[in-house]
Each structure stands twice: as structure tokens, then as C-alpha cells.
Amino acid sequence: MSIRPLTLVEYIGQEEVKKQVRVLIDSAKKRVESLDHIILAGPPGLGKTTLATVIATEMGSQIKVTSAPVIEKKGDIVGLLTSLKDGDILFIDEIHRLSPAFEEILYPAMEDFKLDIIIGGGVGKKRYSKAITLDLSRFTLIGATTRIGMLSDPLLSRFGVILTLDYYTEGELSEIVKRVAQIMAVEIEEEACMEIARHSRGTPRIANKILKRVYDFSLSHNRERIDTDTVRQALRLFSIKDYGIDSLMLKYLRILVESFHGGPIGLTTLCSALNEDRKTIEEVIEPFLLRMGFIKKTKVGRVAQGKAFEFLSNFRDT
């Protein structure tokens, strides 16, 4: 059972991005050409992979999905490119993690739909090599990234379109929860959907996870319909706090506020105190805390803001 939307009509939120995508698709269809190459940028969980699938469906194209970290040798990316047919879409997630050597292969493929490869064999003095150029089908590359600043300029310049996804409103998340609940055949009240949305940090992936945990709770307690009280009890059980702050974020704030008196504290020290790697802190924990004004990044380290002190004070009171 897939909860992913398949069309732009079903895709909730990101209205400005959808308008741009609709124009691109309509134009490409009228020209009877493939779409220009597209970058989808934004924080994790906002629907970049889903949007790529929607674009493929709207274009009537086949999509091949991969991720930059799993591309380990040149043969992997050569095999992907040569397997594409006219109009196909190649989706590369976390494209900012693609190695420079693999980027070099993509440049002529994206610009001229050609692939330059070197074949060779033999040993010693009899060793030979030969450069050949293969013609590729006219495909569309869609790359997804959570860190667009890490993309090299030569690669980024070869994308004709950059679409940036933003966090969702509570109303949009409530609609997403309602839609997914219908797919799951779960009865849920409107206010319960909104309560889940309030704790989802503007992210559909989190909203869907919370809905599933609330559903687990309702089944375990023999509740036929999910109401606000059921949601709140489930949130307490699974340690999801106000604003959607989870246990890892709570630990981060406590270390910053209580152990280091609000900071400043360096990232290396935070990694050691949390026993987490830099990527988890920078890409999972901090983006929401920064957006909500709980913390601030300075030249000398992370500093807690008044909202963080207030949140922890209220949390202790309850």
C-alpha cells in the first residue's frame, strides 16, 4: 500500500513549486521533448523523491531511482545512463555526495547526451586503450539535495531548473494526514489531524510517522476512531514534545542549556556530548531548532536562545 501521491493534483503543498512544474511539463509536452534537468533542493522529508515520481507520472515517463552514495564505480553510472530510453527520468538522491569523477561522466551526458568512455586491455608493452563516444537517449536528470551549497559549480550550472521545497504549514500537513488516513482506512477527527500536524515540524515524513504511531496506539487500546485525546496520549507515550521536539532534540537542548549554560558550544563538543556524528546534528537536529529560534549559530559555537530556556522551563514544570 503506497501513500505517495502520483499526480500534481494529489500532491499537497508546495504550491509555487507545483505551478513551475506544471509549466515545465506543459511546455515539454507541446515541444514533444524531454524536460530540462532539474534540481530539487530542501530539507529531508519534504517530498523530493515523491515530486520526482509525480513529474515522471505527469510526463508519462519511466523513472529510475538511485542514490549518490550507492554509486561506487564508474560502471554503475555508465550502466544507468546507457539503460535509459528517450524521455526517461534518472533520479539521483543526495546528488551532492556524488564524487567528482562521476560528475565528469555526467557533464557530456547532460549537455550533449553523449558518453565518453575509455576501453583498454593487454599487459605490458602490448597494453592499449581507446576512447569511444556513445550516443545516449534524451533523458532528464533530476537530482535531489539537502545541501545545495555542496554541489560543485560545474554540475549545478548544467541543471536548467532549480526548485526549492520549503517546510509545510500546519494546514497542509493536516490535509496530508487526512489523505494518508483515508488510504490506511483509519477513522480520524479533523482536530486530531491538526494535532498531529502541530507536532510534525513542518515535515510530511514526520507527520506520516506520527500518524502510524498514533494508529498503533489506537489499535492497542481498542479505539475505533482517533480523536485529539488519543493523539495526545500517543504523543506522550512516544516522547514527542511540544513543537514536535523528539528525544534527540530534547537531549541537545538540555546539553546546551543545562550542561553548558546556554553556550556557546562548538560542534565537536556537541558531537561528543550527544554521541552523534556531525551530519546527524547539522542535518537532522539543528535545522528545525534554528528555524524555530531555539538556537543560533555563531563564530564561536551554538548559543541557546530565550525560547529554548522557556521551553525547558515549561517542560520541567509539566
Give me the catalytic one of 145, 146, 203, 230. Answer: 146
Q: Give the HSE-up count for residue 53: Cα atoms under 13 Å, Cβ half-sphere.
A: 14
Beta bridge partners of residue 226, listed in sequence order: 188
Q: Which residue is listed with cell 545541501? A: 147
Q: How far apart are CA 273 and CA 135, in angstroms?
A: 53
Answer whether 267's CB lies under 8 Å from 285's CB.
no
Give me the catalytic one of 4, 18, 49, 97. Answer: 49
Answer whether 35's CB lies under 8 Å from 140's CB.
yes
Q: How far apart are CA 243 and CA 292, in angstroms?
A: 9
Please say whether the dihedral angle defined by the alpha carbons of residues 96, 99, 100 and 105, taken in this order, is positive or negative.
negative
User: In terms of Cα–Cα distance, which of 165, 115, 143, 141 is closest to 61?
Assistant: 141
Give me the catalytic one of 18, 147, 179, 205. Answer: 205
* Residue 19 a catalytic site member: no
* Residue 49 a catalytic site member: yes
* Residue 18 a catalytic site member: no
Helix (H, G, I), strand (E, B) or coil at 110: helix
Residue at 243: amino acid letter? Y
Residue at 177: amino acid letter? V
Q: Where are the alpha helices (DSSP H) in 44-95?
A: 48-59, 74-83
What is the DSSP-derived secondary structure letter of residue 188? B
Residue at 133: amino acid letter? T
Answer whether 270's CB lies under 8 Å from 316's CB.
no
* Residue 146 a catalytic site member: yes
Give me the catalytic one of 53, 93, 145, 241. Answer: 93
Apex 125 CA angle, 123 and 129, nearest 5: 65
* Residue 125 a catalytic site member: no
Give me the catalytic one of 48, 178, 241, 302. Answer: 48
Q: Indicate which residues carry an active-site annotation.
A: 48-49, 93, 146, 205
